[in-house]
Structure 1
């Protein structure tokens, strides 16, 4: 599916982006970072004076509709991280992907979960090092991008979006913008601003609620978010209808900023991999979409399909 999207896109920008992303992926890293081992993420500075060891670790989860809800969900995990690291850990409720990336870039964020689409920008612009992802008991992870509508909208297939409004989340989101943009153009000949009117809701929760409440005739969303909203009874299953489902993508990647002291990096990893999910608020929330453990991943391999989608869209990872 994504391969077809790449082949069908044309133009100098797309070609150059593809060449850059695949002939020399490390070139996407901001100039202040080094990648001597070729893993596509920023190396820890070798000079100890350039490494940081904050007394309080700031943690942020990807933007959601109600950050207060997720502050409670993550509280038990953060208390566990405090015990493992010996540091105070504070939850930072971010309002947007851009704000989350800027916070890490400015040194105000140390540990985070960046959503699928913003992960590459966080890696290349903010020095984010992702090392884990949520998964089911059997090790399965990921989600699908779905295009949804509501019953009676007049939209029964993707082609029916032409001439109507379609909600995206933000331009940094994979399932909320980048993947559907590439797929709609390559497979259906539909371009935002030309064949339909794009609107931006800011978050998957907002897009899903907007469709359920008939504010948007269609939206592209991450179905893991929709499944949790249905499980919490935020929306009813019969309020939405899916007209497209993609291949599986990696979900939120968790990690730390590159210049933490190596010993602290290891303690943060230990906190993730030793957390007991049983009876936790984290399990109560994320088991609704199938996740019950943290497993190791690498940005280089697990985000390969996302970098392909970005190349197809001519996305730049340059810091602004």
Structure 2
């Protein structure tokens, strides 16, 4: 049944992507002259095909509206779903820092180090047009519903999954926020790196970990896809809101191309399947770095202090 729901959702996304590709480009983004080759890099949250089924409509929109050709790092067009680069965090950071990628979706934990390396702050994030509120998520601490753990303190001495060392919600935020809950990593509980939010959540559901630190938006996305049974998981703690995955455009992109990409990004209307995956979000909104990333920057500052 899970596979049926996932296939149905992705089929709807693919249909929406095709419909978007057939729509005429908005006049605001049109430009004469040769198309700029815009290299795209995506995080390894999903596989190549699924990534394109989710974001392919946006890429098609950019290609038509902004007069750009979207490619991977090898120069292959993204018109084929198998061509998109889905990179591990280290490789994604390297691609953005060095300008090998021009447009990338990045998790919030990576943003401060990219900005510190001289790249611009993110320019767009999913949000709600009516309320003008950007998408956000919470760090949640989860356990199995049938486990005896009902508060963070109940997990002292237990095994808690973190995702990857550079993940904001999966590692940096727990290290910054859990000590106030009586959960000092490596002291009050054993840290196990799962390799990703899905692995952490599935690991809890199947009893491999006593608890896990995961992002609420990614967790809900797993529920929508049918990968997680919400009835099997208990949330024992929720953090203040964090900015979610956002889009960064590197300084190597010419100013006129940047202007077109920004304008066309903000004119993109999310198709229904994408709105289902990102509940409450229907457009891209501009990012106010200092305001929107305040909690992320606090965690980053604390993690840097601990590292020293």
1:304 aligns with 2:285: no
1:71 aligns with 2:52: yes
Partner Cα separation in structure 2 for residue 101 and residue 54 of structure 1? 26
Runs of 4 or more, structure 1, over 6 Å off, are none
Conservation of the 8 A alpha-carbon contact between 1:169 and 1:176 = yes
TM-score by length of 2: 0.78
Conservation of the 8 A alpha-carbon contact between 1:104 and 1:126 = no
TM-score by length of 1: 0.76
- Aligned residue for 2:251? 258
Among candidates 266, 277, 282, match of residue 285 of structure 1: 277
**CA spacing shift, 1:65–1:208, aligned 2, 3 Å:** farther
For 1:83-102, list aligned pairs within 5 A: 83-90=64-71, 92-102=84-94
Conservation of the 8 A alpha-carbon contact between 2:99 and 2:252 = no
Conservation of the 8 A alpha-carbon contact between 1:176 and 1:221 = yes
CA RMSD of aligned residues (A): 2.3
- Number of aligned positions between the proteins: 262
- Aligned residue for 1:150? 144
What are structure 1's unaligned runs of at least 5 residues?
1-52
- Aligned residue for 1:38? none
Which structure has more relative contact order (CA 8 Å, sep 6+)? It is 1
Deviates more, 1:60-69 or 1:249-258: 60-69
**CA spacing shift, 1:270–1:129, aligned 2, 3 Å:** same
Alpha-carbon shift at residue 126 of structure 1 (Å):
5.9
**CA spacing shift, 1:316–1:135, aligned 2, 3 Å:** farther
Among candidates 289, 303, 306, match of residue 313 of structure 1: 303
Among candidates 207, 217, 222, match of residue 229 of structure 1: 222
Partner Cα separation in structure 2 for residue 58 and residue 316 of structure 1? 35
Partner Cα separation in structure 1 for residue 102 and residue 225 of structure 2? 30
- Aligned residue for 1:188? 181
Tell me the alpha carbon deviations over residues 121-148 of structure 1, each in whole angstroms, 9 at most, x when there is no partner. Answer: 1222261431111113422321111000
**CA spacing shift, 1:108–1:259, aligned 2, 3 Å:** closer
